Amino acid sequence: MNKALFYRIAIIAGVILLLWVALQMVLGIVRERSQYRDAAEQSIWQSYAGPQTLTGPIIVVPYKEVVAVAVAGNAPQQNREESRRLLVFPKTLQVRADVTPGERYRGIHKTIVHETATQWQGTIVLPDLKSDEDLSKSVGHVRFEMGQPYVVLGVGDMRGLVSQPVMQLDGKPVRLQQGAWFESLPQGLHARIDVGGAAGKPLDARTVPFSLTLAVLGARSMALVPVADHNQFTMRSPWPHPSFDGNFLPRQRTVTDKGFTAEWAVTAFNTSVRDQLAGNPGPGNRMSLQAASVTLMEPVNVYVKAERAVKYGLLFVLLTFAGLYMFELVKALRIHPIQYLLAGLALAMFFLLLASLSEHAPFLVAYLAASTACIGLLGFYLTFVLRSWQRGAGFAGLLTALYGALYGLLVSEDNALVLGSLLLFVMLAGIMAITRKVDWYSVGSTAPAPQEDAGA
Amino acid at 138: S
Ramachandran bin of 58, using left for φ above 0, alpha for ψ from -120 to 50, beta for the remaining angles: beta
Does the model's pTM come out above 0.95? Answer: no
Amino acid at 101: P
The C-alpha atoms of residue 241 and residue 323 are separated, in whole angstroms, by 41
- Chain Cα centroid distance, residue 119: 27
- Helix 313-331, helix 3-47: angle, nearest 10: 150
Residue pair 69/79 in contact (Cβ under 8 Å)? The answer is yes
The secondary structure element, H or E, covering residue 434 is helix 416-434
Backbone dihedral angles phi then psi of residue 381, each to the nearest 5 degrees: -70, -45
Is the link from the previous residue into 362 a cis peptide, with omega within 30 of 0? no
Task: State which residues of the chain have pLDDT below 70.
Answer: 1-2, 4-5, 72-76, 280-287, 300, 331-332, 413-417, 420, 438, 440-456
Ramachandran bin of 75, using left for φ above 0, alpha for ψ from -120 to 50, beta for the remaining angles: beta
Neighbours of 252 (CB within 10 A): 10
The secondary structure element, H or E, covering residue 155 is strand 150-155
The C-alpha atoms of residue 205 and residue 412 are separated, in whole angstroms, by 58
Residue pair 170/193 in contact (Cβ under 8 Å)? The answer is no
Q: Please give the pLDDT value at position 213.
A: 95
Alpha helices in 176-268 (DSSP H): 203-206
pLDDT in tens, 186-244: 899 999 998 877 777 888 888 999 999 999 999 989 999 999 999 999 999 999 999 99
Q: Please give the pLDDT value at position 413.
A: 63
What is the three-class DSSP state of 97? strand
Contacts of residue 311, defined as CB under 8 A and 6 or more positions apart, other chains included, come to: 27
The C-alpha atoms of residue 170 and residue 84 are separated, in whole angstroms, by 26
Q: Please give the pLDDT value at position 83.
A: 84
- What are the sequence ranges of the domains in the chain? 3-37+302-436, 51-296
- Beta bridge partners, 366, equal none
Q: Please give the pLDDT value at position 284.
A: 44
The secondary structure element, H or E, covering residue 88 is strand 78-88
Q: Please give the pLDDT value at position 7.
A: 78
Q: Please give the pLDDT value at position 66.
A: 83
The secondary structure element, H or E, covering residue 94 is strand 92-106
Strand-pair category, 172-174 with 109-125:
unpaired
Among 1.10.10, 2.40.160, 2.40.50, 2.60.40, what is the CATH number of 51-296?
A: 2.60.40
